[in-house]
């Protein structure tokens, strides 16, 4: 199951454009999550990004962890876009998360969005699980 979702995440990461090694991304951020389509506030989580530089050939990339049940995962940053991915299991399925946020030259993270995909282990079906928007601010 994880291999299927890892492959999908890898394909999505391959679409991202180039890497700017001069702008390293790391640190702890508060991520406010708003569930779609109404974009109602779901909560805020603390996400810590640790640069390792070894994810899918991106020099500005690494791992992330959080203080909630989703994650951990990996991220890539190309100086313009931050994309972070993770998978977790529930009793009958695996959920794959994709988050995306534009970034500025000064390293600020702009509002973005997310999608959650559910892989049902009993049927093999992949369906949309959650989607919405995020607001990301430095510090937790």
**9-23: pLDDT as tens digits:** 333 333 333 334 445
pTM for the model stands at 0.74
**30-89: pLDDT as tens digits:** 999 898 878 789 889 899 999 999 888 889 999 999 877 677 889 999 888 899 888 777
Average pLDDT, stretch 127-136?
85
CA distances from 130 to 26, 92, 118 (A): 26, 16, 9
pLDDT of residue 91: 64
* pLDDT > 60? residue 139: yes
The answer to whether 49 and 72 are in contact (CB under 8 A) is no
Torsion of CA 97, 44, 134, 67, to 10 degrees: -30
């Amino acid at each position: 199951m994880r291999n299927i979702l890892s492959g999908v995440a890898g394909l999505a990461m391959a679409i991202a454009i180039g890497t700017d090694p001069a702008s390293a991304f790391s640190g702890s951020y508060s991520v406010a999550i708003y569930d779609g389509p109404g974009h109602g506030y779901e909560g805020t989580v603390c996400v810590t990004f640790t640069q390792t530089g070894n994810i899918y050939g991106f020099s500005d990339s690494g791992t992330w962890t959080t203080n909630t049940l989703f994650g951990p995962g990996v991220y890539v940053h190309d100086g313009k876009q931050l994309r972070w991915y993770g998978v977790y299991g529930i009793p009958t399925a695996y959920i794959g998360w994709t988050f995306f946020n534009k970034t500025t030259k000064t390293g600020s993270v702009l509002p973005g969005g997310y999608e959650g995909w559910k892989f049902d282990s009993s049927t093999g079906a992949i369906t949309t699980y959650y989607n919405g928007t995020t607001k990301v601010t430095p510090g937790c």
